[in-house]
Structure formats: C-alpha cells, structure tokens
A and B are shown apart, each in its own frame.
Chain A
Amino acid sequence: MATADVTQAGALSFEFDLAAATVRELNERLHRVDPERPGGRVLVRNPGGKHAIAVGLDAPYEVEIAGHVGYYCAGMNKLASVRVGGNCGVGVAENMMSGAVVVEGSASQSAGASGRGGLLVIHGDASARCGISLKGLDVVVRGSVGHLSAFMAQRGCLVVCGDAGEALGDSLYEARIYVRGSVAGLGADCVEKEVRGEHLAEVSELLARAGIDDVDPGEFRRYGSARRLYNFHVENLGSY
C-alpha cells in the first residue's frame, strides 16, 4: 500500500532547476527509467507554477518539488511518490494509478480527477470538484473542499477533515465520502450513511497513511450513494 511519506533519507539521484531547464527536459529525464535501478530521489527547484510537471511517471521515484506548481502536476502518476512543497493548479494527480502525491499547500479545482489508485494528500484546502469522477484513488484533505466534490465518483474514498461545499457527491456511485466538518449541501443521490466499525477503521487507516495524527477519526460523518439513480426511472426525472 502506498504511503504518503516521501523518504527524506538516501542520496539524491538528480536535481533539476526549472529556472534553467524546461519541463520537457525534466519529464524526458524522468521517463528514461533504468530497468536495473528504476526510480530514485529527485529534487525539482524553481517549479514557478509551471504546468505538467512530473507527469506520466512510471517508476518508484521520490520527487520533491520545492515550490508552487501549475496544472496537472503528477498527472497519471504510477508508482512514484511526489511531494509538492507549495500550492497546486488544476487537476493535480489527475487519473493517477498508484503511488502517492502529497501537497503541502492548497490545491485548485479537480484535484485527483478520475484517479484510479494510490493516495493523494492535500494539507491545505482543495477547491471545487475535488475527487471528481474518482475511480479508486483515495484522497485525504486536511482542510476543506469546494463545491461538487466527488461528483460522479465511482470508487475510492474522499476524506475531508474540514468542511465540504455545495452539492457534495452529486450523482455518486460507489465511492465513499467522509467529512469531519459541515457540509453545505448534498448533491443528487448523495445521502448521509451510518458510520460502522469498518468505516471508522477505514478513516483511521487513511489518516494514518496521510500522516495526519491530530484528527480524531471518530469525528467524521459518512456520505454515500442512495443508488436511486442507478437505473432510469420516470420518478427520477427531476434529477436527470
């Protein structure tokens, strides 16, 4: 199972300064994987809000990005652990498959969109559509999330330690949502559900993997799909 910890120990494989080199050169270097020794520790300096940093990784790298990034950082990540020292633009870790992505700051819209596996941790807040179209990725947000979070989420978990905006879990499928604070409103077919033992265990485990140890797992409420929109029915007309 992925852990959020990007190991600090171990020698740096290489360092990349995005003030001096391009994102293309960085990604090209990261995609050139030595099959004998895949992965390694990588430090990226001066990300300067650039887009598509460290996308399409396919090896157990530990990438540390010292600063803010633009859109789609760590998009479609596989195996790698990526830590962003600052804030993220739209779609951080979109469609990630495995590994871990940790954001020290806040994330813009569509964080973890359509993610299929691994763990995304956001220590600040996440904006609208956090965990939209989720397909197996687990997302843990230390702060709050904006409107339409977990829209049409199919699989995986969204754990929000703060509050959630309007239309949480709209048109939800089988993803599970846990919110500790207030929920401004639930979307179509999203309902509050009982927190049973297995759910408490799930939240505890996700918080532990996210390295969050000062939040009580017992304070979360659970939301899920009422499964009323799973099949077309005349009675649901207002919801389509």
Chain B
Amino acid sequence: MHGGVDRSARPPEMAAPGPTNGWNPGLRESATFDRNAIAEIQRAAREGMYDIRGFGAKRRVPHFDDLLFLGASVSRYPLEGYRERCDTDVVIGTRFAREPVHLDIPITIAGMSFGALSAQAKEALGRGATEVGTSTTTGDGGMTPEEREHSRILVYQLLPSRYGMNPDDLRRADAIEVVVGQGAKPGGGGMLLGHKISDRVAEMRDLPVGIDQRSACRHPDWTGPDDLEIKIEELREITDWRVPIYVKVGATRTYFDVALAVKAGADAIVLDGMQGGTAATQEVFIEHVGIPILAAIPQAVESLVDLGMHREVQLIVSGGIRSGADVAKALALGADAVSIGVAALIALGDNAPEHDPGYREIGSAAGYYDDYQAGLDPAGISTQDPALAARLDPVEGGRRLANYLRTLTLETQTLARACGKSHVHNLEPEDLVALTIEAAAMARVPLAGTSWIPGTITTP
C-alpha cells in the first residue's frame, strides 16, 4: 500500500449498495468492476504506483476446503481416540545429514524475517514452537540472537539478498533452507519499506537506515540446477555434512522444480502455494502468480515417486494452512509436514478484535488487516516501532501459538484416527474425495460419490 490509503480493507459493516440504507434493486454492482476493482483503479489513478501489501492471496482458489475425508466404516476400522496411538513425529533430512531434524509434530513455522516482524514476535514464535517440539525459520534479514536462543530447532534461510548471512550462524543452525522462491511471489525478490528499516535492521542488512529495500530475486552466485548442486555441496562442506539442507520453491512448475531440487541434492523440499503469506509484495504478484498448494502437492509427490525419493526427500508444504483439517489433507496428499506463516501470526494476535480501534485508526479493521509492509501494526507483530512492538508479550504470544499448534495436531490426529491410521503419515489420497471438479482434477482424487478424477495425466 502506498500513500496511506488502504484499499484492501473493506469496513465490515459496509451496507448493501444504494443511496439509502435500504436495498435498492435498481442498483446493480458489476461482477467485473466490483467495489475492490473500482477502488483499485481509483487508488492507482491517485498514486501512480502499484499496491504493495502483506498477508497472502485473498481471492478464492481451489483449496483443502474442497476435499473431504471418507473415514472408516465396515470396509476398514477406525482407531479409538485417546486409547489408541496416533503418532505425529517427523524426521527431516534423512537423505544426507548426519543430524536430521526430529519434529514432534508435522507443523513447522515458516521463514519470516526479523525486520518484517518485531524481535518480540520472532521470540514468541520460537517459544511457541519449542514448547510443542517443532522448528522455526529465520528469514530475509539474518538470524537474531533472540530467535536462536528461544528456538530449540531453528532453520536458517539462505536467500538471494544474503542479508546478514554469516558462517557462524550457519554453523549454529539446525537446518539450512536455500530459498529459491516463495508462493506469494515466485520469481520476485524481497521488499522491506523504509519505515521498517530501523537502525538494528539496517545494521543487520548492511543497508542505509530508512531506504525502501528492494532485494534481488536471483541468488548472486548461482543460476540454474547445476550451479545449485554445487552451492548445496559448498553449504554441506562448510557445515561438515551435519545439518539437512532444504530447498524452498514457490509453486509453479512444481513437477520439474522438485525433480531438479532433488537432483541438486536437497534433503527436503519446501513447497509454498500461491496463497502463501508475505510481509510485502505487489498485490498483482500475490494474486496472479503461482498455483494453489492443492494443485502443487500431487505434482511434487509424483515427481518424488518417479525418482524413488518419496519419504526419502521430505516434502514440507505451505500456503493457506489454517486448521488440522488442512494439515491432515496436505499429509494425505503425500506431504511429510506443513509450514504456517499467516496462521501463526494470527495466533500471536494479528487481526485480533481487541486491536480493532487501532486498525481503524490506520484505515483498516480487525479481520482485514494486511498492511504488514507499513510497520504500523497495532498488534505489535509486523513492526519495528519499539512502542508498538512492546505491545506483544513474547511469553503470552508463545503460549497462544503453542495452544494453536496443539489444537492443529489434535485435529489432525482426530481425522487420522477416523481413517484408521496409527501415524498421521499413513493418511493417503485414497482417504480423500473432492467436492468440486476443479479440486478433483488438481488434487487427483475422485469427485465425491464417483470414481472420476478429471484430467488424469502422468506428467504435467
């Protein structure tokens, strides 16, 4: 967003169209030029600049909601809740790492930079994740001592910008994630607007204070899969082959990206769908580049299966994961774990009703806030303003995140037990059906009540 006008937040109490409060059937809103489209044209005409915002894609796309579990009955039997075990642990990095990452739950915290988020928010993420035995991830801006201290398992990102990249931090990390792309902007570089480049952020990134940072979209020292293979070899040599190396891609040409990342030597693939969150990206990028995670997972799994690498190279998926149902469906489609970004921030207090007055002061509303780029977050999460950041208590935030992660895990187990599985990884596509033809085609599971999987193909 630019120039202080938030076009994306529609006040929730906005009445139906009409000159009076009553419904006027003579007025017809255009499906093409709807209120958002009109407001965006007006904003663009006023500001002459694309809209930059945070959060993820807001349009509806085929998603996990379009899938259902079949559950057990006569032909297969379910497991008893509480009495019969349904395990949730995951090991990531079994291919090459001497010390793979052991997670108690199949839900990890996605990479979000210090800079995009306050130090308190990063600490809260670390506390919450550690409490339930899962990992957090650094981001485009380096590793802070706070997040290393509060995260028992910390994944260190190597991004095109290389801000703050440091071999000591690399050796301190429990895993390394080479970021090729992100679901919100496959093919785009990082952005951090001037009001969030505080002294500390500037120092960590070797940038002047207060500039609008535009980071590179390509890595400075490699291009293409053959170079990536050598880059991964270098990272392994620096860390003596101790920790796993993940490769993160935005979901686009997923079948081939996964195959090339595996060939380049990745221990794990992090696959982020188009719904994936961001701290600051052009709206046109967020909404129009990449494919939904639902369409990407089967491609990734097919690629891994074709290479004989499914479950050998772990698949971590993200992009719009909200509930245990989403987690269970992602796992059933063949993922080993999921990652959450926006949902974790919401658990910390982002978009919470108690901040509604604060959101309204800056032209937004609780439930609509997406201006993570602006640094004005009344919840104190996506900000570098010390006074705002102080509003988030890292201990309390960590407790809420741990509660949320426990809930996701319990929900996932509930669904897995209903399908008769003693480990959440035993969920399989056969347990799923689709509610829509689109979802059936993308997820490659039958339309409910039929045996029809539209457009069944071998290679996309």
Which A residues are closer than 8 A to B by beta carbons? 23-24, 27-28, 31, 51-52, 55-56, 58, 70-72, 75-76, 78, 90-91, 94-95, 97, 109-110, 113-114, 116, 129, 132-133, 135-136, 151-152, 154-155, 171, 173-174, 229-232, 234, 240
A51 touches B230 (CB 8 A): yes
Most chain A CB atoms below 10 A, which of B162, B216, B220, B238: B220
Q: Does B240 reach chain A (CB closer than 8 Å)?
A: yes
Return chain B residues, CB-CB under 8 Å to A232: 2, 49, 193, 212
A75 touches B234 (CB 8 A): yes
B48 touches A234 (CB 8 A): yes
- Which of B57-65, B107-115, B163-171, B386-394 interfaces with chain A? B163-171
Return chain B residues, CB-CB under 8 Å to A135: 162, 206
> 8 shortest A-B CB distances, which residue pairs?
A56-B238, A91-B221, A114-B162, A76-B167, A113-B220, A113-B221, A234-B48, A110-B221
Excluding A110-B220, A114-B162, A114-B220, 12 further A-B contacts by CB distance (< 8 Å) are: A27-B237, A52-B233, A72-B234, A76-B170, A97-B167, A113-B162, A114-B221, A116-B206, A231-B211, A232-B49, A234-B47, A234-B48
Given A91-B222, A94-B221, A56-B239 contact (CB < 8 Å): yes
Given A72-B231, A114-B221, A234-B48, A55-B238 contact (CB < 8 Å): yes
Tell me the nearest residue of chain B to A91, going by C-beta.
Answer: B221
A133 touches B211 (CB 8 A): no
Write the nearest CB–CB distance from A98 to chain B, whole angstroms: 10
Partner pick for B220 among A31, A51, A129, CB 8 A cutoff? A129
Return chain A residues, CB-CB under 8 Å to B207: 154, 173
B166 touches A97 (CB 8 A): yes
Partner pick for B216 among A27, A55, A90, A152, CB 8 A cutoff? A152
Write the nearest CB–CB distance from B196 to chain A, whole angstroms: 13
A173 touches B221 (CB 8 A): no
Q: Does B253 reach chain A (CB closer than 8 Å)?
A: no
Return chain B residues, CB-CB under 8 Å to A97: 166-167
Return chain B residues, CB-CB under 8 Å to A76: 167, 170, 238
Q: How far apart sit A76 and B241, CA to CA, in the bound complex (Å)?
A: 16
Return chain B residues, CB-CB under 8 Å to A154: 205-207
A173 touches B208 (CB 8 A): yes
Write the nearest CB–CB distance from A194 to chain B, whole angstroms: 20
Write the nearest CB–CB distance from B183 to chain A, whole angstroms: 22
Return chain B residues, CB-CB under 8 Å to A133: 161-162, 216, 220
B162 touches A78 (CB 8 A): no
Return chain B residues, CB-CB under 8 Å to A152: 216
Q: Does B84 reach chain A (CB closer than 8 Å)?
A: no
Q: Does B227 reach chain A (CB closer than 8 Å)?
A: yes
Partner pick for A230 among B161, B170, B212, B216, CB 8 A cutoff? B212
Q: How far apart sit A165 and B65, CA to CA, in the bound complex (Å)?
A: 54
Partner pick for A72 among B47, B165, B171, B230, CB 8 A cutoff? B230
Q: Does B187 reach chain A (CB closer than 8 Å)?
A: no
Query: Which residues of B218-233 have CB atoms within 8 Å of chain A's CB atoms?
Result: 220-222, 227, 230-231, 233
Interface size for B (C-beta < 8 A) is 35
Q: Does B214 reach chain A (CB closer than 8 Å)?
A: yes
Which B residues are closer than 8 A to A by beta carbons? 2, 47-49, 161-162, 165-168, 170-171, 193-194, 205-208, 211-212, 214, 216, 220-222, 227, 230-231, 233-234, 237-241
Q: How far apart sit A58 and B216, CA to CA, in the bound complex (Å)?
A: 28
Return chain A residues, CB-CB under 8 Å to B239: 56
Most chain A CB atoms below 10 A, which of B47, B212, B230, B238: B238
Tell me the nearest residue of chain B to A32, going by C-beta.
Answer: B240
Tell me the nearest residue of chain B to A136, going by C-beta.
Answer: B206
Return chain A residues, CB-CB under 8 Å to B170: 56, 76
B208 touches A56 (CB 8 A): no
Write the nearest CB–CB distance from B337 to chain A, whole angstroms: 28
Q: How far apart sit A72 and B365, CA to CA, in the bound complex (Å)?
A: 49
Write the nearest CB–CB distance from B333 to chain A, whole angstroms: 36
Write the nearest CB–CB distance from B395 to chain A, whole angstroms: 34
Write the nearest CB–CB distance from B149 to chain A, whole angstroms: 22
Q: How far apart sit A240 and B50, CA to CA, in the bound complex (Å)?
A: 12
Write the nearest CB–CB distance from B433 to chain A, whole angstroms: 46
A230 touches B208 (CB 8 A): yes
Partner pick for B166 among A70, A71, A91, A116, CB 8 A cutoff? A116
Tell me the nearest residue of chain A to B239, going by C-beta.
Answer: A56
Tell me the nearest residue of chain A to B158, going by C-beta.
Answer: A95
Return chain B residues, CB-CB under 8 Å to A55: 234, 237-238
Partner pick for A75 among B47, B166, B220, B238, CB 8 A cutoff? B238
Return chain B residues, CB-CB under 8 Å to A23: 237
Write the nearest CB–CB distance from B6 to chain A, whole angstroms: 17
Write the nearest CB–CB distance from A116 to chain B, whole angstroms: 7
Q: How far apart sit A107 and B166, CA to CA, in the bound complex (Å)?
A: 23
Return chain B residues, CB-CB under 8 Å to A31: 240
Q: How far apart sit A115 and B352, CA to CA, in the bound complex (Å)?
A: 42
A90 touches B167 (CB 8 A): no
Return chain A residues, CB-CB under 8 Å to B166: 97, 116
Write the nearest CB–CB distance from A113 to chain B, whole angstroms: 4
Tell me the nearest residue of chain A to B238, going by C-beta.
Answer: A56
Return chain A residues, CB-CB under 8 Å to B238: 27, 52, 55-56, 75-76
Write the nearest CB–CB distance from A139 to chain B, whole angstroms: 13
Tell me the nearest residue of chain A to B229, going by C-beta.
Answer: A51
Could you pull out 19 A-B pairs where Cβ atoms are within 8 angstroms? A23-B237, A24-B237, A24-B241, A27-B240, A28-B240, A52-B230, A55-B238, A56-B237, A56-B239, A76-B238, A94-B220, A94-B234, A95-B165, A114-B165, A136-B206, A154-B205, A155-B206, A232-B212, A240-B214
Write the nearest CB–CB distance from A95 to chain B, whole angstroms: 5
Write the nearest CB–CB distance from A124 to chain B, whole angstroms: 19
Q: How far apart sit A148 and B208, CA to CA, in the bound complex (Å)?
A: 22
Tell me the nearest residue of chain A to B167, going by C-beta.
Answer: A76
Tell me the nearest residue of chain B to A53, going by C-beta.
Answer: B237
Return chain B residues, CB-CB under 8 Å to A174: 208
Write the nearest CB–CB distance from B338 to chain A, whole angstroms: 31
Most chain B CB atoms below 10 A, which of A27, A28, A114: A114
Write the nearest CB–CB distance from A27 to chain B, whole angstroms: 5
